[in-house]
Amino acid sequence: MKLAYWMYAGPAHIGTLRVASSFKNVHAIMHAPLGDDYFNVMRSMLERERDFTPVTASIVDRHVLARGSQEKVVDNISRKDKQERPDLILLTPTCTSSILQEDLQNFVDRASTISDSDVILADVNHYRVNEIQAADRTLEQVVRYYLEKARRQGNLNLSLTDKPSANIIGIFTLGFHNQHDCRELKRLLKDLGIEINQVIPEGGLVENLHQLPKAWFNLVPYREVGLMTAKYLEKEFGMSYISTTPMGVVDIANCIRQIEERINLLSPISLNGKVNYEPYIDEQTRFISQAAWFSRSIDCQNLTGKKAVVFGDATHAASITKILACEMGIRVSCAGTYCKHDGEWFKEQVQNFCDEILVTDDHTEVGDMIARIEPSAIFGTQMERHIGKRLDIPCGVISSPVHIQNFTLGYRPFLGYEGTNQVADLVYNSFTLGMEDHLLEIFGGHDTKEVITKSLSTDTDLTWNSESQLELNKIPGFVRGKIKRNTEKFARQNGVAKITVEIMYAAKEALNA
Amino acid sequence: MSIKISETLTFECETGNYHTFCPISCVAWLYQKIEDSFFLVVGTKTCGYFLQNALGVMIFAEPRYAMAELEEGDISAQLNDYQELKRLCLQVGKDRNPSVIIWIGTCTTEIIKMDLEGMAPKLENEIGIPIIVARANGLDYAFTQGEDTVLAAMAHRCPEEENLIRNPQKNEKKSMEKLFSSLPIETEKKIKKSLINRQNRFSLVLFGSLPSTVASQLSLELNRQSINVSGWLPAQRYTDLPILGNNVYVCGVNPFLSRTATTLMRRRKCKLIGAPFPIGPDGTRAWIEEICSVFGIDTQGLGEREQQIWESLRNYLNLVNGKSVFFMGDNLLEISLARFLIRCGMIVYEIGIPYMDKRYQAAELTFLQTTCKKMCVPMPRIVEKPDNYNQIQRMRELQPDLAITGMAHANPLEARGINTKWSVEFTFAQIHGFTNAKDVLELVTRPLRRNNNLENLGWTDLVREG
């Protein structure tokens, strides 16, 4: 057993559900007790999703515990098949069903004979993998299923598209700024004259998955989700993939050069001329993106040598560390990630760019590290933001897990050239806010004149008896003053000199009457 | 699908495919209510992830709750449960020094049959901190019922009243008859007896967790009728649990506390006052009247007080009058809220509810019926264990003015032009007593007021129907 009240990555089924609900017309059925469909709330609230989340539960209750699910799961699958006519129904085990050890594969086999939809069982072990790993695994499983199905049916078309084209793999629901990143990547590829073959899983149709091999290469922007799929496609169809995250000016250029290499490798086959992206990279870096100029400007000079701490998922933490260290001259005292399964890769990526490396999924360890280092700014998840609040250190949020405010309505990519501008803003704002705070403290704040009274009423004519005083103290601090004022106003209006608990409530009732 | 609004209360039961919070969410408000407690949820990552997301900002405030996260070794019994729990509880004791540790059993502990009830007394002896076990799991319960399981377990820990003179009174018999009877419309005229005298023989304990301000408001209302509330279950501190025994009358303040009520009656020999719940001015009045009648007290100025509250709500009532409501059902407050809203002039099409205890809610159900007759509106259908998919189809047909629903459906319904109010807010807002009637209507009218502001912009329907 582990004592914990916060975790960076959720349970496995969340990852599976994120992939399933990102595809169009795919329905997930969870084998779970009442209340485990919390995923629907997250998607509906955080992503402000307009459509009903295509996830339902086949409820595990006392009866199931006593006698097994029996027909229930199969019934639920065929019912959903008739109601929504999805292309695919993904039966999703949860921690509960893992222990029950029911033969879910058997339910799936039976259900698939009677339903029009394809039915598969998500193959994830609840006690061995987390949300991120499960998402990666599920995406690969779905892709594999449809490619093998196409191969069996003989409608696998392996010829490449005429023009250079790419698949973008790993954009999905509840991902950190994924929607914006996707738009930015599409724009980047369009600028390079590359067509988008497919984006999966977000908005993809499983019926189209058999066309994945037509692309010239796969682009996997995030390490967490999509690598397994890309490796599978490489092994089965010889498709090469690029997994350099195009975040930060340097890595975008790296990524584009790799793309250039792939295209020039294949262009003789399709008889297109060779491409040269160097002029594009140069133009974008020096004049379109503001980040390169920003790093030369005197604003950024002031940041030189300032201490920062970075923590997040492997992709974002590694990229941001490199941006801070190489592109802005900030000293990264510690870079860390909670992706323990990818710890080796992470260490390799950041080891020359930071003083120390922390790989942990224990938020208290991260908190202690930050308290020890006392950086000028933190770049982390929502948890680090709250640690920062407690320690009075500003924090820029750069990675999941996140709150609703990180699902912005405005365009905020982290990837591509527009992403470099956004990251520069984020970094700069975090530090200046810290500086301002510091200066204010030194010079004693904005208001140098002492405020005589903050409440409109002075306590001359009214007395509060001890109960009402006690009652007043129970009211949360931020509204207490207002309640006090309103009560006293009410008391004066009614010619009451002594305030009792009764008067307090009478005042509340009188208000807005 | 036939949608009929019937003349009598109809009860239906659907598939139970509905969205609600897991009952472990009760730690969110209970750890704040019971100041010296510590809640240890014995479960998996799934439970933890739910709490983390559902509790949102509270998580970051060093909460007095934690997960005892079960790992593969715990599931396969490679690790000794007792030793593991002891290690964690010792750490909790050292770090937080709580007066009580409450173990919340989850689905997983049920399935692997972890004997929490058996281990707790042993460990309690060993570490010297009381340990209470509540099985608030999703296999058996929904959302607010979690509080019910905790309070039922806590009822066993309330101190036993000392042997007072046991004097079977006329009142006692009367109260037993009234236990599940309908609401008395007229209270008998009686001479008010000395309160002090009465208090010596009988005391009143209220059960249900309410914010302390609301609790003192309700106590104050009863005080006005010369009734002293001798204690609350739960109290602000575990060490202040009320005294129970067979001279103690108990009355619930929330509709989801049926296990607690049963425990208080059967195990602690308390006398249950079956009353409608103090939600809305009508409910509050009926609640006070029922308590007063049990103690043989004539109510003083209650009618005027209720009238006065209704007066103060006039602006809201104008907004809701004639509008229709659909409760999808997820927190068991639905019957009381529906009854109040009908009294406000609304029409309720359907009351979805996870679980319907017709005995514990008897007075409330009768009150709902009389309210419908009084307001001349058809009786709503009560749907136990609803099926959200079917409900959405029904809503498409009925097009209610307001759907009271969980957060999973709120945004999708709004996008389809149906106004929604999250049901969860009713659990966290202050809705009890005369003083807070306004807060209920504040919540209910919020989407309607929003509409008044956004009317005529032409963008109510925001989905492409493909």
| 3-state DSSP of A305-354 | CCEEEEEECHHHHHHHHHHHHHHCCCEEEEEEECCHHHHHHHHHHHCCCE
**Nearest C-alpha in B relative to A500:** B220
> Which structural domain range is residue A467 located in?
463-510
Residue B90 lies in a domain: yes
Active-site residue, selected from the candidate residues A61, A123, A299, A355: A299
DSSP SS3 for A1? coil
User: What's the rounded Cα separation, in Å, for the pair A5 and B39?
Assistant: 11
Same domain, A311 and A345: yes
Which chain B residues are Cβ-neighbours of A476 within 8 angstroms?
A: none
Given A288, A311, A334, which residue is the final one in a domain?
A: A288
Structurally, how many domains does chain B consist of?
2
Among B107, B441, B461, the strongest candidate for a mutation testing the A interface, having the largest count of A CBs within 10 A, is: B107
**Residue A196, pLDDT score:** 96
Residue A5 lies in a domain: no
CB of B248 within 8 A of CB of B255? Answer: no
Longest dimension (CA), chain B: 74
Residue B211 lies in a domain: no
B44–A37: do the CB atoms touch at under 8 Å?
Answer: no
pLDDT at A111 over 60: yes
pLDDT at A240 over 50: yes
Mean pLDDT to the nearest integer, A229-233: 97
Residue B435 lies in a domain: yes
Residue B262 lies in a domain: no
Residue B449 lies in a domain: yes
* Per-residue burial over B448-459, b = 16 or more CB atoms within 10 Å of its CB, e = otherwise: beeeeeeeeeee
How close A399 gets to chain B, by Cα (Å)? 16
A1–B462: do the CB atoms touch at under 8 Å?
Answer: no
A96–B411: do the CB atoms touch at under 8 Å?
Answer: no
Same domain, A378 and A398: yes
**Residue A512, pLDDT score:** 59
Same domain, A402 and A299: yes
User: What's the rounded Cα separation, in Å, for the pair A238 and A144?
Assistant: 14
| A435 belongs to an annotated ligand binding site | yes
- Interval A87-108: pLDDT, tens: 999 999 999 888 888 899 999 9
**Nearest C-alpha in B relative to A94:** B46
A513–B311: do the CB atoms touch at under 8 Å?
Answer: yes
B-contacting residues of A 12-31, CB under 8 Å?
13-14
Same domain, A31 and A107: yes
Which chain B residues are Cβ-neighbours of A5 within 8 angstroms?
A: 48, 51-52, 59, 63, 65-67
CB contact A35 to B (< 8 Å): yes
B46–A95: do the CB atoms touch at under 8 Å?
Answer: yes
Given A102, A129, A156, which residue is the final one in a domain?
A: A129
Given B141, B167, B202, which residue is the final one in a domain?
A: B141
A-contacting residues of B 318-347, CB under 8 Å?
none
**Residue B60, pLDDT score:** 62
- Interval B395-405: pLDDT, tens: 999 999 999 99
Residue A149 lies in a domain: no
Phi, psi of A50 (to 5 degrees): -85, -25
For residue A201, whether the previous peptide bond is cis, meaning omega lies within 30 degrees of 0, is yes
Same domain, A314 and A389: yes
Same domain, A282 and A406: no
Cβ–Cβ pairs < 8 A, chains A and B: 180
User: Which two three-digit tokens encode residue B8?
Assistant: 């009598």
CB contact A2 to B (< 8 Å): yes
pLDDT at A86 over 70: yes
Q: Which of B17, B75, B216 sits opposite A99 (nearest CB)?
A: B75
Given A79, A112, A129, which residue is the final one in a domain?
A: A129
CB of B384 within 8 A of CB of B14? Answer: yes
Among B45, B103, B432, the strongest candidate for a mutation testing the A interface, having the largest count of A CBs within 10 A, is: B45
The pLDDT confidence band at residue A511, using thresholds 50, 70 and 90, is confident
User: What's the rounded Cα separation, in Å, for the pair B168 and B158?
Assistant: 23
- Interval B403-456: pLDDT, tens: 999 889 999 999 999 999 999 999 988 999 999 999 999 999 999 888 887 877
Residue A143 lies in a domain: no
A-contacting residues of B 347-376, CB under 8 Å?
none
DSSP letter for B180, please.
T
| B376 belongs to an annotated ligand binding site | no
Going residue by residue through chain B, which has 466 residues, state the pLDDT in tens, using 9 for 90 and above.
Answer: 444 555 678 899 998 899 999 999 999 899 989 999 999 999 999 999 998 888 765 666 678 899 999 988 888 888 899 999 999 999 999 988 999 999 999 999 999 999 999 999 999 999 999 999 999 999 999 999 999 999 999 999 999 876 544 444 444 444 444 444 444 444 433 334 434 344 456 899 999 999 999 999 999 999 999 999 999 999 999 999 999 999 999 999 999 999 999 999 999 999 999 999 999 999 999 999 999 999 999 999 999 999 999 999 999 999 999 999 999 999 999 999 999 999 999 999 999 999 999 999 999 999 999 999 999 999 999 999 999 999 999 999 999 999 999 889 999 999 999 999 999 999 988 999 999 999 999 999 999 888 887 877 877 788 876 5
What CATH number did the domain enclosing A31 receive?
3.40.50.1980
DSSP SS3 for B123? helix
CB of A29 within 8 A of CB of A142? Answer: no
Mean pLDDT to the nearest integer, A62-82: 90
Phi, psi of A334 (to 5 degrees): -150, 135
Tokens 């199931």 correspond to A64
Average pLDDT of chain A to the nearest whole number: 90
What CATH number did the domain enclosing B331 receive?
3.40.50.1980
A1–B69: do the CB atoms touch at under 8 Å?
Answer: yes
The pLDDT confidence band at residue A437, using thresholds 50, 70 and 90, is low
Which chain A residues are Cβ-neighbours of B23 within 8 angstroms?
A: 35
DSSP SS3 for A469? helix
Which chain A residues are Cβ-neighbours of B406 within 8 angstroms?
A: 41
One-letter amino acid identity for B163? N
Q: Which of B22, B88, B139 sits opposite A65 (nearest CB)?
A: B139
Residue B7 lies in a domain: no
Other beta carbons within 10 angstroms of residue A405's beta carbon come to 10
DSSP SS3 for A256? helix
Mean pLDDT to the nearest integer, A193-212: 95
A4–B92: do the CB atoms touch at under 8 Å?
Answer: no
CB contact B88 to A (< 8 Å): yes
Residue B236 lies in a domain: no
Among A31, A34, A474, the strongest candidate for a mutation testing the B interface, having the largest count of B CBs within 10 A, is: A34
| A434 belongs to an annotated ligand binding site | yes
CB of A74 within 8 A of CB of A105? Answer: no
Where helices occur in A398-465 by DSSP H, the ranges are 416-442
- A299 belongs to the catalytic site: yes
**Residue A175, pLDDT score:** 94
> Which structural domain range is residue B309 located in?
302-457
Query: What distance lies between CA B154 and its chain's CA centroid?
Result: 16
Same domain, A283 and A306: no
Structurally, how many domains does chain A consist of?
4
CB contact A326 to B (< 8 Å): no
A509–B63: do the CB atoms touch at under 8 Å?
Answer: no
User: What's the rounded Cα separation, in Å, for the pair A430 and A419?
Assistant: 17
User: What's the rounded Cα separation, in Å, for the pair A81 and B406?
Assistant: 24
Same domain, A214 and A307: no
Residue A2 lies in a domain: no
The Cα-based distances of A86 to A59, A83, A116, B307, B466 in angstroms read 20, 9, 8, 55, 14
Same domain, A281 and A301: no
- Interval B199-210: pLDDT, tens: 456 899 999 999
One-letter amino acid identity for A255? C
Other beta carbons within 10 angstroms of residue A409's beta carbon come to 6
Same domain, A174 and A112: no
**Residue A299, pLDDT score:** 78
Same domain, A437 and A301: yes
Among B411, B439, B445, the strongest candidate for a mutation testing the A interface, having the largest count of A CBs within 10 A, is: B411
pLDDT at A173 over 80: yes
How close A81 gets to chain B, by Cα (Å)? 13
Q: Which of B19, B138, B139 sits opposite A40 (nearest CB)?
A: B19
Residue B89 lies in a domain: yes
Same domain, A275 and A301: no
* pTM, to two decimals: 0.87
**Residue B6, pLDDT score:** 59
A14–B49: do the CB atoms touch at under 8 Å?
Answer: yes
| Sequence-separated (6 or more) residues with CB below 8 Å from residue B219 | B206, B229
Which chain A residues are Cβ-neighbours of B464 within 8 angstroms?
A: none
